[in-house]
Amino acid sequence: MPAATHAVSADVHPVSAETHPVIAGFHPDPSICRAGHDYYLATSSFEYFPGVPLFHSRDLVSWELIGNILDRPSQFPPGAGDSRGIYAPTLRHHDGRFWLITTDVSRGRGHIIVTAENPRGPWSDPVYVDGSSGIDPDIAWDDTGTCYLTWCSNDPATTGLAQAAVDPEKGILLEEPRLVWTGTGLAWPEAPHLYAVNGWWYLVIAEGGTERGHCVSVARSRSVTGPFEGAEHNPVFSHRSTRHPVQNVGHADLVQRPDGEWAAVYLGTRPRGTTPHFHVNGRETFLSGVDWVDGWPAFDESRFELPAPDHSFVEHFPAARLHPRWVSPSAVPEAITAPDHGQGICLRAASDGDDEPGMLAFRVLDHVWSATARVRLDAGSFRLALRLDSRHWCAIDATPDTIRAVLCIGGLETQLATAKPDDGDSPDDGTVTLSIEARRPSSEGPDDVALGFESREGYRTLATFDGRYLSTEVAGGFTGRVIGLQALRGTPTVQKVTYTSGP
């Protein structure tokens, strides 16, 4: 199975890591660890199954999607709902094993821990850590081998950043949780990560909420259990109230390189358009250098250069096993698909009573892009969709009789335009090629979204609209755009999917 790379070779003109994500698209809350000379990085995935995409790199600059950690319903049952499901993970390598702790906020059982000898899997079934209500868990081991769980607590007794020693094999807290820090006074102290550096324990957190006021703050203590003293110059990293093209920066995780230098990954957005400025691809993963200045971490965003990205791919679905880029917001992908004898992949229509037709989807990775799907309908009906959540999406639908463009904003669905294939717009081989594009904006939104299809006369645009209506600033939530394939009726066969990065 080919790997999904998020950068191209270094002979392409480089771009700055200060303004370009190292992992593009809806990949927030990054957590990173190193094993030898190999780096591994995991991100939040919310309602999408399989959950927690896992990336590998040897240089921090070029990353490869190697799988999804929560790839079985026994680890993460699908159907969590919009912006629910899997929140921020922490990924660590300790004592020869890989450990991931995260929170499935839809289940109400606290944090879950899974482990693996090989990061490519298989990963264990989850161990639940009861008695640790909240989000954003971190695990760290001291010199005695004791494991400490630190998290953003929603318990009234420990509102802020709580901590307790834990048995990570059994998920049992070994002591009563204690409050270790409430941050600097900004809203939403969360995303704690602990590091032992030069005789100090550093507690790095996010504050200000994950919108424009987001930032990184840090405190330190001689003991892993505190008391922690905040840096006088907190926050140590933020783009709030600036014109920087990357906003919402925060939720950082640090890693030490083999040469002793340090780096950090963090989330950010790339808003466009007029006020309030709109971001559409969700929160992405960025990379920064880190220096230690007077005993505190200092972020150097100019440290790294990245190869100019090209995320284009063509998918013919040649293998029975799907590429790890393919996810679903409401189902196990294999439950709504079947190989079609080397001719593509069959999609199964949703059952009666389902809130949303089963969707096979992949993340949008660029500002300007185009996506096409060539489909054999076989008397069924098919949808190519651009989805932000279940109430904010657009689509181009095809039946043997009609092609129509549809837009849904806040649950209000409207038909934008239709075409009749029997008027001469349909190919003779029983297939149809549908298209969605994100173009440079003609107004003050982030982009123009165009819905169209291939006719006998060539490409035909059926409808175009302002992309702000499929942005987080309009819809809310924590995810980003995905491109989805759906069977509305019958079992249409998708023969080919093409995604092309724009200039």
Catalytic amino acids? 29, 190
Contacts of 272 (CB under 8 A, 6+ apart): 278, 279, 367, 441, 445, 446, 447
Among 323, 205, 253, smallest CA distance to 100 is for 253
Between the CA of residue 396 and those of 5, 211, 379, 464, 491, what are the distances in Å? 28, 31, 17, 11, 17
The stretches of 344-479 forming alpha helices (DSSP H) are 472-475
Contacts of 322 (CB under 8 A, 6+ apart): 333, 334, 337, 360
Strands (DSSP E) found in 61-131: 64-70, 90-94, 97-103, 111-116, 127-129
Neighbour-count burial of 13, counting CB atoms closer than 10 A to its CB (0-12 exposed, 13-18 middle, 19+ buried):
exposed
Give Cα 154 distance to the centre of its chain. 24
CB-CB neighbours of 66 under 10 Å: 17
